Amino acid sequence: MRIAFEDGFAIEKGGGIGQHTLNLFNAMKILCGDGDIKLVDKPILSRISYAPLRRILYIMWLNGALQFLLDREHIDIIHFTNFLVPNVRLSKAKYAVTIHDLTAWRYPETLPSLYLPYIKEAISHAIVSADLIFTVSETIKEEIIELFKVSKEKIYVGYSGVSDKFLKSPVHSAYVEKVKSKFSIKKEFLLFVGTIEERKNIITLVKAFEELKKYLNLQLVLAGKPGYGYSKVEKYLQEHQLRQDVILAGYISEEEKIALYDSSKVFVFPSLYEGFGTPLLEAMARGVPVIASKIPTTEEIAGDNVVYYGDPSDYNLLADNIIKLLVDENLYQKLSAKGRIRAEQFSWGKVAKEHLKAYQKLLHSNA
């Protein structure tokens, strides 16, 4: 069985889908060997910096050159991990696709209006065209079945995982202090990791922090690249004079991320909607107590190992729960220990084995 991964430049962009793809690919290589797993290379397209042109050429490549590559390399399954699937199928390879979430249907207001028709069309086509659909949670599987009336036999839940780096021992204290100094962290702090965008509900977190500042001497660190709605966060921080204590760290390396997890007091995950939520698991793996919005996917992934607050937009309720966690030492320590145990259940080795079962079933059912 020869499998190829096509990531649609997600690895290059470095976001959640890119991390998922790279970690799954590396785990599959260990499981199956280099000869049976291939990451499709696009060297010419990768050198094109003008995004609109690269997107057009990429679609042409998907429907042309890729098809011949699949036959030439005798690929049995091509796994599209970033939901874009060719309109034309000329090769004999089976199509697998990962659908990470259905934000465009569930929370369309959190995406750019000009982007909505494109992503809806792309995901709808992928769901119809694929021989096998992976989702990263049972929640998203049920949403696909509900919205697209797809047979449940066509959909396989292949959870995301947490990198081994986050399951290892703490980093050296000197490096932690170096990272804190780099980002001007001078107090105990709350942490959020993820793209700074509408769907992540950052404004609610900032408002909760604004309330906490009345009682506690804290900072808030927001670590992640800017996304849709980032300017609203910047504007709010400026207008409410919070810029000194709310740190916009930008995109950070995994080593820096681990250092921030290890030195934070609480990890806050106030998302309106998630397909999986990798930072949630990373924080738990590092033993950081977590407060999260009570949404289906987070409940599925985290179980009873975090503190939930009800309405994701209720910043007062979020602030109250942060205070309760900080003052309840028993709860704090309990969540720290339980979180580590829960995160260990999502190893990439285990994720790869589950994917391999699905690939084998796909080929066997079509033999």
Model confidence pLDDT, tens digit, residues 43-88? 888 888 888 898 889 999 999 999 999 999 999 999 999 989 999 8
If we measure between CA atoms, which residue out of 108, 81, 16 comes closest to residue 355? 81
Domain CATH number, residue 131: 3.40.50.2000
Residues 313 and 187 in one domain: yes
Tell me the Cα Rg of the chain.
21
Strand runs labelled E in the chain:
3-6, 37-39, 77-80, 94-99, 132-135, 155-157, 189-193, 219-223, 246-250, 266-269, 290-293, 307-309
Q: Which residues pair with 77 in a beta bridge?
A: 3, 94
Q: Which amino acid is at 290?
A: V
If we measure between CA atoms, which residue out of 21, 27, 17 comes closest to residue 40? 21
Residues 78 and 188 in one domain: no
CA dist 99 and 122 (Å) reads 11
For residue range 270-310, list pLDDT tens digits in order: 999 999 999 999 999 999 999 999 999 999 999 999 999 99
Residues 57 and 118 in one domain: yes
CA dist 220 and 247 (Å) reads 6
Residues 196 and 304 in one domain: yes
Residues 326 and 177 in one domain: yes
Residues 142 and 277 in one domain: no
Q: What is the per-residue pLDDT for 350?
A: 93
Q: Distance between terminal CA atoms of the chain?
A: 12
Residues 99 and 186 in one domain: no
Residues 332 and 275 in one domain: yes
pLDDT: which is higher, 284 or 366: 284
Task: Check whether 199 has a pLDDT greater than 90.
Answer: yes
Global pTM value: 0.93
Q: How many domains in the chain? A: 2
CA dist 342 and 62 (Å) reads 39
Beta-carbon count within 10 A of 250 CB = 12
Q: What is the per-residue pLDDT for 12?
A: 84
Beta-carbon count within 10 A of 44 CB = 10
Q: Which residues pair with 246 in a beta bridge?
A: 220
Using CA atoms of 271, 274, 280, 282 in order, give the dihedral in degrees to the nearest 10: -140
CA dist 363 and 367 (Å) reads 6
Token pair belonging to 303: 């179980």
Residues 132 and 172 in one domain: no
Token pair belonging to 190: 């709350």
Q: What is the per-residue pLDDT for 364?
A: 83
Task: Check whether 21 has a pLDDT greater than 60.
Answer: yes
Residues 40 and 129 in one domain: yes
Residues 186 and 148 in one domain: no
Q: Mean pLDDT in the chain?
A: 93
Residues 327 and 187 in one domain: yes
Domain boundaries, position 268: 165-345
Percent above pLDDT 90 for the chain? 83
For residue range 211-245, list pLDDT tens digits in order: 999 999 999 999 999 999 999 999 999 999 999 99
